A and B are shown apart, each in its own frame.
Chain A
């Protein structure tokens, strides 16, 4: 069974980089993309065009998103009994203390900043794969 990852990211450049990096790190990953917060929630709740969307094993999400921003999406996921067991990793450019604190207060499972250098970015995606999708034991379909 392929590993399902939902990437919530509005920048096409970052989406493509993530695809490239995941391709190198673990070819069996299926990367789904939501480009704003509303679409992310629709995907997770199988609404509209997403009625056959799989339940992701991991959510990777930027904080600054159009329509509904990442903080709000995070809060909704963690208030939802069906969704809150999905590890949700914040991946953003912000290293502001207020964003870090707020994310953990909303029960983000991990907070990461996007490295500036390509090889560092690739290394980070590799370590996300190694830890969250390989070493960590995750709950089965809840």
Chain B
């Protein structure tokens, strides 16, 4: 049911909004009165539908005073008389249909036209804004863009902004500012250029962006903290452990064979436990250092890194009689210390996880599309059951009993962390009894063909 005052006001508003379409307003109202709202929509004119919707919205708001409505009607009629420009009128329908708030401004920076979305967004009624300076709702950054100067016309000034989203602050009627993105497009009319601004409230997006940035910062902070924690914990644990280790070793050295056989066994277990714990802590330190003691990526020779790794492994290679060979190796962008460690861990494993055979290890590369290299470290060792292909890269992951192979279960976790820090990935292909091939990807220096 419509109240009379609302009815009049809604007509007035519709009239102000749409200017020339007053006959349609009447038509729409007639349809409203006969409760055939849907039929109006079916008339096929988008414009009419929108006006009905606008009228219905007005009714819901139930704004009172007939006098006010009539005043608005008069104002609308005056404005209507002024606005004779047919192209502007034609665009009104589109204006109302747009999902964004639309404000049309002349080159003097005055608001000529706006749609219902704009009313809603800025909290003004249409008649309060039409004829006002656009700085009322967009204090900065919009009006300035319309001003021609010695070097450019309005069209040129506008042209620079066409299609680009400009982020500005807008001011609501209640005085609060909110972030908007506006897109400008010029509209040629006989009266000169009018500028249509599509305005989107981006408060939610800005909040989401800020939240994302906060979350990233928080994540980085907690990551740094964790790295720091691992480093400090492992470093400080060394100190008491050094005492336990030193004195059990001293005990073993001085009293072995002088107490009973039980004592010798107990001391041996203590020495063994302490030795393993030292190894574990050192590996944990090494793991935490992949992040905390990281160097910049430089253009380095992967062959030099491999040679250094082989020097570090020389006693293991000599003891096992391992044959380590390699194909031509490229220059890569890497942290050299970490690349050496990577080769060292992978080749060290290849030599270590062997049955009685002479270990054979071959290192080669293949080009992976653009500027990436796939490095492969292939061995003839024990091989790995496919079910462990993923888990072996985790921390403390061990596949063998301590009596078979010593180790802290950190080696491949360190490899994975190093490769990932270099933006690559590490994986394994293997068949138990037929050796394993570990592959990892590194970026080239962009010069190798």
Interface residues of A (CB under 8 A from B): 11, 13-14, 17, 20, 93, 114, 116-119, 121
Contacts and interface: CB of A to CB of B under 8 A. Distances in A.
Interface stretch (B38-46, B145-153, B241-249, B357-365): B241-249
A116 B238 contact: yes
Contacts of B253: 118
A118 B250 contact: yes
Rank and list the top 5 A-B pairs by shortest CB-CB distance, nearest first: A118-B249, A13-B243, A118-B246, A116-B242, A93-B239
SS of A interface (majority): helix
B228 interface: no
Of listed A14, A17, A93, A116, residue having the most chain B CB within 10 A:
A116
Nearest to B246: A118
B31 interface: no
Given A20-B250, A93-B238, A116 B243 contact: no
B250 A116 contact: no
SS of B interface (majority): helix
Nearest to B253: A118
A120 to B, nearest CB: 10
Of listed A13, A117, A118, A119, residue having the most chain B CB within 10 A:
A118
A7 to B, nearest CB: 16
27 contacts: A11-B243, A13-B243, A13-B246, A13-B247, A14-B243, A17-B246, A17-B247, A17-B250, A20-B250, A93-B238, A93-B239, A93-B242, A114-B242, A116-B238, A116-B241, A116-B242, A116-B245, A116-B278, A117-B245, A117-B249, A117-B278, A118-B245, A118-B246, A118-B249, A118-B250, A119-B249, A121-B246
Contacts of B246: 13, 17, 118, 121
B365 to A, nearest CB: 35
Contacts of B245: 116-118
A117 B279 CA distance: 11
Contacts of B239: 93
Of listed B243, B246, B250, residue having the most chain A CB within 10 A:
B246
Contacts of A14: 243
A62 to B, nearest CB: 11
B286 to A, nearest CB: 13
Interface in B244-291: 245-247, 249-250, 253, 278
A97 B187 CA distance: 67
Contacts of B242: 93, 114, 116
Interface in B214-255: 238-239, 241-243, 245-247, 249-250, 253
A13 B246 CA distance: 9
Nearest to A95: B235
Nearest to B282: A116
A13 B245 CA distance: 11
A121 B239 CA distance: 13
Of listed B241, B243, B253, residue having the most chain A CB within 10 A:
B243
Nearest to A119: B249
Interface string B3-24: 0000000000000000000000
A66 to B, nearest CB: 15
Given A13-B247, A118-B245, 17 more contacts: A13-B243, A13-B246, A17-B247, A17-B250, A20-B250, A93-B238, A93-B239, A116-B238, A116-B242, A116-B245, A116-B278, A117-B245, A118-B246, A118-B249, A118-B253, A119-B249, A121-B246
Contacts of B249: 117-119
A14 B247 CA distance: 10
Nearest to B275: A117
A93 to B, nearest CB: 5
Contacts of B250: 17, 20, 118
A121 B245 CA distance: 11
Contacts of A118: 245-246, 249-250, 253
Nearest to A13: B243
A114 B247 CA distance: 15
A60 to B, nearest CB: 17
Nearest to A14: B243
Nearest to B239: A93
A11 B246 CA distance: 13
A11 B242 CA distance: 12
Contacts of B278: 116-117
B255 to A, nearest CB: 14
A20 B246 CA distance: 11
Contacts of A116: 238, 241-242, 245, 278
A115 to B, nearest CB: 8
A119 to B, nearest CB: 8
Nearest to B250: A118
A51 to B, nearest CB: 34
A1 to B, nearest CB: 30
